Amino acid sequence: MNGIKILGTGRGVPSKLVTNEDMAKIVDTNDEWITTRTGITHRHHLAEGETITDMTVLAARRALENAGISADQIGACIVATLTPDTLVPSAACCLQRELNLPHDTVCFDLNAACTGFLYALHTMECLLNASERKYGLVIGAENLSRITNWKDRGTCILFGDGAGAVVVECRPEWPSISAILGCHGTDQMLRVPGVEKGVPSLIYMEGTKVFKFAVEAVPYCIDQVLAKTGKTVDDVDFFVFHQANARIIDLAVKKYHIPQEKYYKNICEYGNTSAASIPLVISELHEMGKVGPGSRVLIVGFGGGLTWGGAMIEFA
């Protein structure tokens, strides 16, 4: 299969900043308790009147501009999200309208929770192999503040809103991203009930059990991707982890002896933004010049479903 590489990145973040001190006014908590257990100091929430569509449009336009690609060159558009503005039309269809993408552009949403962006990248690689237009838009976007249980002090402190986007291109001579994806279907640890199910459509999570799952899933994904690509830790220019908890990232860094200049945490600023977290990191790294043409990035995600995934993607 022909591979894809990243041409451009962008992000859209709500202007409303919510601090740990703000959270302490809502539930029984404090800055020290939150920071020491999660690494989070701030998170961004959509303000009244702001929407997922607003964020995805901003992120996508910035990514297109950064890539030097016009909307009419896009062959497919995937939005990874579990919190679209509307179930129908999808967030991707709303984005098609706002960007004026060609009417034959394949556009749809994908829900694999916090692993959604990885699932979407692999799906895009497959789609572009069959598309006449070889450029694709992959966006991770969430409005988790809308489905947060503000009475649950263990989870409401974690989540933020945001959107990150990448423009990718598919070429015959480029390597596959060698995605490793998997799931174990269970609603016992992490779930959001559907519409009109008799209970609120809010996030329910058993944090300790999810943490234990994550610290096993991350090294599994790293090992599988390195084995599939025939690479070593030294061959990777940057590691990008789903930003769920700083301690999960720290454990992986320690296990693989990853030097500080090869990984990045922005959970302190954004909290857990589910499908948006990985593209938000990639966008920031790109903007700071830490990754660019030729960079080889290993990305790892895990989340509800339960789902997990890893991939190796390069910048063109």
Residue 276 CB coordination number (10 Å)? 37
pLDDT tens-place values along the chain, 316 residues long: 899 999 999 999 999 999 999 999 999 999 999 999 999 999 999 999 999 999 999 999 999 999 999 999 999 999 999 999 999 999 999 999 999 999 999 999 999 999 999 999 999 999 999 999 999 999 999 999 999 999 998 899 999 999 999 999 999 999 999 999 999 999 999 999 998 888 999 999 998 999 999 999 999 999 999 999 999 999 999 999 999 999 999 999 999 999 999 999 999 999 999 999 999 999 999 999 999 999 999 999 999 999 999 999 999 9
- 1-316: CATH architecture: 3-Layer(aba) Sandwich (3.40)
The residues annotated as belonging to the active site are 114, 242, 272
| Three-state secondary structure call for residue 136 | strand
- Token digits of residue 178: 């060698």
CA pair distance 104, 8, nearest whole angstrom: 22
Question: Do 245 and 38 contact (CB within 8 A), yes or no?
Answer: yes
